[in-house]
Amino acid sequence: MDPTTITPLVQGIVSITPGAALMIAVGGLLIYLAIAREYEPMLLLPIGAGAILANLPLSPLVGPDGLLNILYQAGVGNELFPLLIFVGIGAMTDFGPLLENPKMLLLGAAGQFGIFGTLLLALLLGFDVNEAASIGIIGAIDGPTSIYVSSRLAPHLLGPIAVAAYSYMSLVPVIQPPIMRLLTTKGERHIRMQYTQRTISRRTRVSFPILVTIIVGVLVPMATPLIGMLMLGNLMREAGVVDRLTKTSSNEIANVVTLFLGLAIGSTMQAEAFLQLDTLAILALGIGAFALDTAAGLLFAKLLNLFSRVKINPLIGAAGISAFPMAARVAQKVALEEDFENFLLMHAMGANTAGQIASVIAGGVVLALLTR
Amino acid sequence: MRRYTVEVNGKAYVIDIEELTSDRFNVRLGDQRYEVRLRGSEDVAGAQITPEVLPLHVEGEAASEGSAITPVMASQHRPPAPESMPTLPMSRRPGLPPQSNIPGADFRQEIAAPMPGTIVTIHVSPGDLVKRGQTVLVLEAMKMKNAIKAPHDAIVSTVPVQAGQSVGYGHVLVTFQQPN
């Protein structure tokens, strides 16, 4: 038989590179984590599938007119998808616990320390400023914010950063508790916090998203897209007159965009770009960012206790990150291990939603410092 | 410190309340001082304030009683003693020894909802003997299931809630009797 007839038939097999094969395995691992371990399956499954589809030999999906490429151009390259997801998150989030106890904003701010700590570490490891900032943003423990920031500052690192942000988000219950136990005393974990039920008026609930958008938008213009979309979703939820929009944002739009976003992120995980020493460094720095956030939150809560007569349980300091609602649940779980009657969930939820707002602002601050 | 001046039957009384911690307060009524613990606080117009009195530092004439402070806010219409210093009429519970001397004074008659939520499942029914730490029901709050456990060994007397019911903060979930 003429070899020219056979070549096109076996071009798939002969085009497999070891790198691509390894990336297919990585995609498989993500899918395994999603299915068997249920680590953020909504995201890791599409990301894993995207990685496999993009690394199959000569994959038309990543060609100029390929589906994955179109998705990337349509929503990741221009940051559209993360912003649409924020509308959904806003529509799902109840800021009530934060409004009941606005002091929690301080803990949310402390929970962002990991971003800046990690940024410095990454600079020391030789990443350039934009890359370091994108890696630091993993410390926001917020997938959409990480994607938004890194797609503007360091698009070539998008794959590893998204994978780190999302897989660590699902590892909150594994990573946080040891740090929490290490940095607090038994007595501190036993602190009970009075739950004061305050009825938050509808006017307050409706004004909150509008005021936050305007204040944050004026102070940190770079954060306007993120906070604006988050608060738009929340405004629709609290307004109570656009139920259909709220439901669509938090279900249909969020789900569709999550699928597209996952596939597009997965497609950035091509062998040449992903199989670098940098990727390992990013994964390691990401976990460091996370640990720093947790430690900073705990220590800051302890610091507040030095000045305040109303003691707060430092465990809720660890909830001042964006991973919602896992971080608050972890704080509650650790507290219950010590004292089964210590319910601090509502306080932890307050700190947690504060962490969501603070991480968005931190993302805006980083962008403001680095884009010109 | 916060000073409330209330008028009962045309007579003004001064109540000084000093916040010690988030839930402990020093309440001064004339020459009587109580240390009270706040069990709940709600912004509901017309709600009754029923703090739990700790028998720790009770000074003044009520010292021997350690009585509940509830009646301060309740409708006591006894004419006040004819003194120049107005003192709120306190209800007396003659013969009631200080709380700490009652055997099982720590016995809690009920569990109240620690936060607003929905009852998911109920694991006990009236008459059941429960052990300390045994789950009596599961309360879902902020999409998290929370096991509510018995604070001590007790017999369940009533379960005034049903699965699926939404409860507010402080809603009584289970009441107990002391086991013999």
Contact A197 B19 (CB under 8 A): no
Q: What is the mean pLDDT of chain A?
A: 91
Domain boundaries, chain A: 79-370
Tokens read off for A10: 């076996």
| Separation of alpha carbons B80 and B88, rounded Å | 7
Position B10 scores a pLDDT of 80
Position A282 scores a pLDDT of 93
Position A363 scores a pLDDT of 93
Position B4 scores a pLDDT of 82
Chain B contact set for A201 (CB, 8 A): none
Which ipTM did the prediction report?
Answer: 0.71
More confident residue, B98 or A294: A294
| Separation of alpha carbons A188 and A191, rounded Å | 5
The CATH code belonging to domain B110-177 is 2.40.50.100
Contact A341 B44 (CB under 8 A): no
Contact B142 A325 (CB under 8 A): yes
Q: Tell me whether A347 touches chain B (CB under 8 Å).
A: no
Domain boundaries, chain B: 2-101, 110-177
**Residue A349 phi, psi (nearest 5):** -65, -40
A90-141 pLDDT, tens per residue? 999 999 889 988 889 999 999 999 999 999 999 999 999 999 999 999 988 8
B58-91 pLDDT, tens per residue? 444 444 444 444 444 434 444 444 444 444 444 4
Query: Of all residues in chain B, what percent are helix, strand and coil, respectively (each to 5)?
Result: 5, 40, 55
Contact A340 B143 (CB under 8 A): no
Q: Is residue A350's pLDDT more than 80?
A: yes
3-state secondary structure of B3: strand
Q: Is residue B93's pLDDT more than 50?
A: no
Q: Is residue B167's pLDDT more than 50?
A: yes
CA dihedral over A339, B35, B115, A193, signed as positive or negative: negative
| Separation of alpha carbons A146 and A355, rounded Å | 14
pLDDT band per the 50, 70, 90 thresholds, residue B155: very high
The residue-averaged pLDDT of A326-340 equals: 92
Closest CA to A47 of A271, A283, A260, A266: A266
- For residues B139 and B120, the answer to whether their CB atoms sit within 8 Å is yes
The rounded radius of gyration (Å) of the Cα atoms in chain B is 19
**Residue B34 phi, psi (nearest 5):** -130, 145
3-state secondary structure of B175: strand
Closest CA to A57 of A270, A353, A211, A219: A270
Lowest mean pLDDT across B48-62, B75-89, B104-118 = B75-89
- For residues A138 and A154, the answer to whether their CB atoms sit within 8 Å is no
CA A174 to chain centroid, in Å, comes to: 16
Q: What percent of chain A has pLDDT over 90?
A: 71
Position B78 scores a pLDDT of 44
CA dihedral over B86, B92, B97, B102, signed as positive or negative: negative
More confident residue, A308 or B65: A308
A240-286 pLDDT, tens per residue? 999 999 999 999 999 999 999 999 999 998 888 888 899 999 999 99
Lowest mean pLDDT across A4-8, A364-368, B62-66 = B62-66
Position A272 scores a pLDDT of 85
Contact B22 A311 (CB under 8 A): yes
pLDDT band per the 50, 70, 90 thresholds, residue A1: low
Tokens read off for A59: 């994959």
The residue-averaged pLDDT of B84-113 equals: 55
Q: Tell me whether A204 touches chain B (CB under 8 Å).
A: no
Position B87 scores a pLDDT of 43
Position B15 scores a pLDDT of 86
Chain A contact set for B37 (CB, 8 A): none
Position A86 scores a pLDDT of 93
| Separation of alpha carbons A90 and A187, rounded Å | 36
pLDDT band per the 50, 70, 90 thresholds, residue B2: confident
Position B143 scores a pLDDT of 77
Q: Which of A194, A199, A341 sits opposite B22 (nearest CB)?
A: A194
Q: Tell me whether A4 touches chain B (CB under 8 Å).
A: no
Chain B contact set for A304 (CB, 8 A): none
The residue-averaged pLDDT of A16-31 equals: 93
Chain B contact set for A310 (CB, 8 A): 21-22
Contact A311 B38 (CB under 8 A): no
More confident residue, B180 or B91: B180
Closest CA to A170 of A267, A35, A68: A35
Position B147 scores a pLDDT of 92
Position A211 scores a pLDDT of 96
Tokens read off for A76: 């990741």
**Residue A350 phi, psi (nearest 5):** -60, -45
3-state secondary structure of A221: helix
Q: Which of A197, A309, A332 sits opposite B169 (nearest CB)?
A: A197
